[in-house]
Amino acid sequence: MPSEETKILLRESEIPQRWYNINSDLPAPLAPPIHPGTGKPLGPEDLAPLFPMELIKQEVSMEPYVEIPDDIMRIYKLWRPSPLYRAHRLEKHLGTPARIYYKNESFSPPGSHKPNTAVAQAYYNKQEGVRRIATETGAGQWGSALSFGCCLFGLECTVYMVKVSYEQKPYRRVLMETWGATVHPSPTTLTKAGQSILEKTPDSPGSLGIAISEAVEDAATHDDTKYSLGSVLNHVLLHQTIVGQEAKAQLKLVDEEPDVIVGCVGGGSNFAGLAFPFVKDKISGKEIDIVACEPESCPTLTRGLYKYDFGDTAQLTPLVKMYTLGHTFVPAPIHAGGLRYHGDAPQLCLLVNQKVIEARAYHQLTTFEAALTFTRIEGFLPAPETAHCIRAGIDEALKCKDTGEEKCILIGYSGHGFFDLGAYERYLADDLVDYEYPQEKIEAALKDLPEIQEPV
Amino acid sequence: MPSEETKILLRESEIPQRWYNINSDLPAPLAPPIHPGTGKPLGPEDLAPLFPMELIKQEVSMEPYVEIPDDIMRIYKLWRPSPLYRAHRLEKHLGTPARIYYKNESFSPPGSHKPNTAVAQAYYNKQEGVRRIATETGAGQWGSALSFGCCLFGLECTVYMVKVSYEQKPYRRVLMETWGATVHPSPTTLTKAGQSILEKTPDSPGSLGIAISEAVEDAATHDDTKYSLGSVLNHVLLHQTIVGQEAKAQLKLVDEEPDVIVGCVGGGSNFAGLAFPFVKDKISGKEIDIVACEPESCPTLTRGLYKYDFGDTAQLTPLVKMYTLGHTFVPAPIHAGGLRYHGDAPQLCLLVNQKVIEARAYHQLTTFEAALTFTRIEGFLPAPETAHCIRAGIDEALKCKDTGEEKCILIGYSGHGFFDLGAYERYLADDLVDYEYPQEKIEAALKDLPEIQEPV
């Protein structure tokens, strides 16, 4: 019987004990990452300066499950199992026969799903004697999560924060500092990458690409320091699968199986965390629409090419096969700062390419409209990123109203919007716009894609 | 056995079905409120222009319990039952034999305990055909909660926000607007009270006292509009007792009874909500230290007089018997904006006067020190108000470390600090100070207290 309750809760003892590794179930093999210098497939030794060995093993593991260590589980329990909500009020408001559920990851201390991997990454670094972790952050969600994770394991954390965000979002910075992190506005004079940018452009506002280069260089040039990434990589997506496994157990408690799953996609870790445990079922034959929601102004999955590309603007990272808008792509200044990456996680891209996962793009205004409806009906204020799949969920529920179908819709509620009220203010003041991304501009950026022969 | 789990959860079906009314158990009768014009005890008819009749009944009820209507319960379930946390990591960090629990009210959509009464007040107003509710807010926590409550019941909400806060805390304002409220910087030209202030002081930064006068006038002069208060009154404290009743049930689940309960006090509703269900036990003979924590710079309970006084600066509200620093008291600009009221709830004051509840005052810096420890050890970022009882809880745990006592300590975690990062920034930058409140200044403010003969 579908839930009459508002929140479907698991006990702490019911938290899944293992992460689910989609590598073991992918319908086609993942193309290997390529070394940017040699043009050859990357080996573990190439990653060793940047990541602890256990994470490198997870990155390439084909085992279907990875046990979650007790020390990580203890910290997960600060907010896990996260509640699965039945959106009774929203259903009634829409007049839909659909049943809408949302998996609420906003109650973690940093306010999003990000700490599911930040805590795990901090743990494995601590285990292998690392003293400090360097990372980049754009809008600040990932930097906050890693600061939190490092703080709880007694690691130092250095965050290269895109300068324009550093200046515009001081409270995000302060949150990281409250957890003890050191936050630098990037580009800095602390790295060669930063110095070379500042020599050419002293007033550079920074970019995620530059910040990645700085954090990678910091880690590569300090023996006691490693690097950490908040999305895209296999091990990051792996850690997030706790979300979907919990959601599945929660739905089972109320005799439900999802007909539609919607989640927002920046680099792909939030979406994969919710969706991958259900992708396994879909590959085994279950009928589920699994929909990745991205911004029209950064339409990686819907209008990008499925090709090898660099992860960063400066072409320092390995090349991976993914949908990409080109590493020179410059996103429009939408408020869903976490959804502005030119590429996406290779595992997710393969599943989109194999048509297991469908991708849809949404304009900014319609996502804020959905967010406002959600806030005024369900009460909770979503992040602008989350608003993308709320839009998709509402649209699906309205389709059911037309067709009379009683579908079960699962929304990935990835984070709260308490740090995004500047965006809501502009939306309420009718001061937000949509950004039509011209096809010519995308094609121009895609011209710069490197020509890589996929290894057999 | 004390909890090995991190969160002690109740099911939604285990939410207490009734609010607890301390009036039925007070060790002495409550002195009646006095009409500011007639000098006589207030009757229900005096309150009728401001409050719906059901709330007026609750204000004077002597029944031990009041049933919670289903429509309120359905909305409570968005965040209730709230989790009771065992602070395993903090205990270990402090090296204390004490067991520390905190009741976490920060997961409500507005982020604090305030909606427990905001939702109830909105409901009763809606029931009685009210179209709009007017209220005041200082730092914005109460205005946010009432905006949320009104939004979910389809009521209009007008918030008079102290002008200096309106300008300094734009995101709090936007949060209210996102829930559909209209927010005015007070003093406004919309009320006579506001006009008269602006005539004398065009640049007035406003004050809570002025904002109260404006909201009361707005309600009194519009037939379809009522007024709402976020603390102090009996019915407000009543609605908050859901918190303590839940905490009691949760502690029982792990075979615990609190030896010490600590909560922060502004007007008293947060503290009363947690403590009153346990006060009942204490009056029946249980040994519990129940400690109300307030700022040294607004030491109402610790250095005020227990006398009749006005609730507002303009002397428009009824007179109530309470601990007061005088209605002309001007608080120092500490960051715990919710703890700067010159008086306190009459029910709470009576219990302090009867020595059932103990009061302690804390300086700002030591509360932020405790908050920083808490954030870095337990992970969650508390509001500066909440930091006051975290300080008290840590102090109690450290006392146990000295004495070896294995006490059970219960902390009221009233709200998160995501809107207070400006204060954390200043604390981290060593830019916060303590405010010694000179005894002469308190005595001067107390000289203005009206002389009221307590009715027999």
Q: Transcribe B226-247 into DSSP letters.
A: EE--SSSSHHHHHHHHHHHHHH
Average pLDDT over residues A106-112: 98
Interface test with A, best of B4, B6, B152 (most A CBs within 10 A): B6
Average pLDDT, chain A: 95
- Express each pLDDT in B2-14 by its tens digit: 668 999 999 999 9
Do B7 and A419 lie within an 8 Å CB cutoff? Answer: no
Average pLDDT over residues B425-433: 96
Chain A CA closest to residue B79: A7
Query: Does pLDDT of A201 surpass 80?
Result: yes
Asked if residues B296 and B268 have their Cβ atoms less than 8 Å apart, the reply is no
Average pLDDT over residues B245-249: 98
Confidence of residue B364 (pLDDT cuts 50, 70, 90): very high
Q: What is the pLDDT of residue B4?
A: 82
CA–CA distance, B193 with B213 (Å, rounded to integer): 6
Closest CA to A162 of A124, A119, A95, A209: A209
Q: What is the pLDDT of residue B122?
A: 98
Do B170 and A425 lie within an 8 Å CB cutoff? Answer: yes
Report chain A's terminal Cα–Cα distance, integer Å: 49
pTM to 2 decimal places: 0.97
Query: Does pLDDT of A2 surpass 70?
Result: no
CA–CA distance, A60 with A41 (Å, rounded to integer): 12
Chain A CA closest to residue B105: A107
Query: Does pLDDT of B213 surpass 80?
Result: yes
Do A7 and B12 lie within an 8 Å CB cutoff? Answer: yes
Confidence of residue A66 (pLDDT cuts 50, 70, 90): very high
CA distance A109 to chain B (A): 5
Q: What is the pLDDT of residue A187?
A: 94
| Furthest C-alpha separation in chain A | 65
- Express each pLDDT in A247-298 by its tens digit: 999 999 999 999 999 999 999 999 999 999 999 999 999 999 999 999 999 9
Query: Does pLDDT of B86 surpass 80?
Result: yes
Q: Please tell me whether the peptide bond between B187 and the residue prior to it is cis, using omega within 30 degrees of 0.
A: yes
Q: What is the pLDDT of residue A4?
A: 82
pLDDT greater at residue B340 or residue B322: B322
Proportion of chain A in helix, strand, coil states, percent, rounded to 5: 45, 15, 40
Average pLDDT over residues A91-119: 98
Share of chain A above pLDDT 90, in %: 85
Average pLDDT over residues B209-231: 94
Place of tokens 């408020």: A335
Average pLDDT over residues B326-352: 90
Q: Which member of B109, B377, B424 has the closest CB to residue A380?
A: B109
Q: Which member of B6, B75, B175 has the closest CB to residue A78?
A: B6
Query: Does pLDDT of B1 surpass 70?
Result: no
Q: What is the pLDDT of residue A52?
A: 97
Q: What is the pLDDT of residue A249?
A: 98
Confidence of residue B444 (pLDDT cuts 50, 70, 90): confident
Do A376 and B180 lie within an 8 Å CB cutoff? Answer: yes
The predicted complex's ipTM stands at 0.96
Q: Residue A170: its chain B contacts at CB < 8 A? A: 421, 425
State the helix-helix crossing angle for A234-253 and A346-353, rounded to 10 degrees. Answer: 60
CA distance A355 to chain B (A): 36
CA–CA distance, B244 with B222 (Å, rounded to integer): 36
Confidence of residue A315 (pLDDT cuts 50, 70, 90): confident
Confidence of residue A227 (pLDDT cuts 50, 70, 90): very high
Do B75 and A379 lie within an 8 Å CB cutoff? Answer: yes
Q: Residue B180: its chain A contacts at CB < 8 A? A: 376
Do B148 and A11 lie within an 8 Å CB cutoff? Answer: no
Query: Does pLDDT of A324 surpass 90?
Result: yes
Average pLDDT over residues B183-194: 96
Asked if residues A6 and A331 have their Cβ atoms less than 8 Å apart, the reply is no
Do A151 and B376 lie within an 8 Å CB cutoff? Answer: yes
Chain B CA closest to residue A150: B376
CA–CA distance, B344 with B291 (Å, rounded to integer): 15
Q: What is the pLDDT of residue A1?
A: 59
Q: Which member of B5, B12, B88 has the closest CB to residue A6?
A: B12
Chain A CA closest to residue B422: A171
- State both tokens at B442: 């308190």
- State both tokens at A125: 């670094």
Query: Does pLDDT of A431 surpass 80?
Result: yes
CA–CA distance, A320 with A217 (Å, rounded to integer): 20
Q: How many CB atoms lie within 10 A of CB B354?
A: 12
Chain A CA closest to residue B88: A74
Confidence of residue A3 (pLDDT cuts 50, 70, 90): low
- Express each pLDDT in A132-141 by its tens digit: 999 999 889 9
CA distance B304 to chain A (A): 35
Do A9 and B7 lie within an 8 Å CB cutoff? Answer: no
Average pLDDT over residues A436-445: 85
pLDDT greater at residue B327 or residue A376: A376
Do A428 and B148 lie within an 8 Å CB cutoff? Answer: no
Chain B CA closest to residue A423: B174
Query: Does pLDDT of B313 surpass 90?
Result: no
Interface test with A, best of B8, B86, B88, B380 (most A CBs within 10 A): B380
Q: Residue B419: its chain A contacts at CB < 8 A? A: 418
Non-local CB neighbours of B267 within 8 Å, separated by 6+ positions: B230, B231, B232, B236, B341, B343, B344, B345
Share of chain B above pLDDT 90, in %: 85
Confidence of residue A312 (pLDDT cuts 50, 70, 90): confident
Q: Which member of B7, B109, B174 has the closest CB to residue A421?
A: B174
Do A74 and B375 lie within an 8 Å CB cutoff? Answer: no
For chain B, domains (ranges, CATH) are 49-67+113-227 (3.40.50.1100), 80-111+238-446 (3.40.50.1100)
pLDDT greater at residue A213 or residue A238: A238
Average pLDDT, chain B: 95
- Express each pLDDT in A144-180 by its tens digit: 999 999 999 999 999 999 998 898 889 999 999 999 9
Do B428 and A152 lie within an 8 Å CB cutoff? Answer: no
Asked if residues A230 and A260 have their Cβ atoms less than 8 Å apart, the reply is no
Interface test with A, best of B13, B78, B86 (most A CBs within 10 A): B78
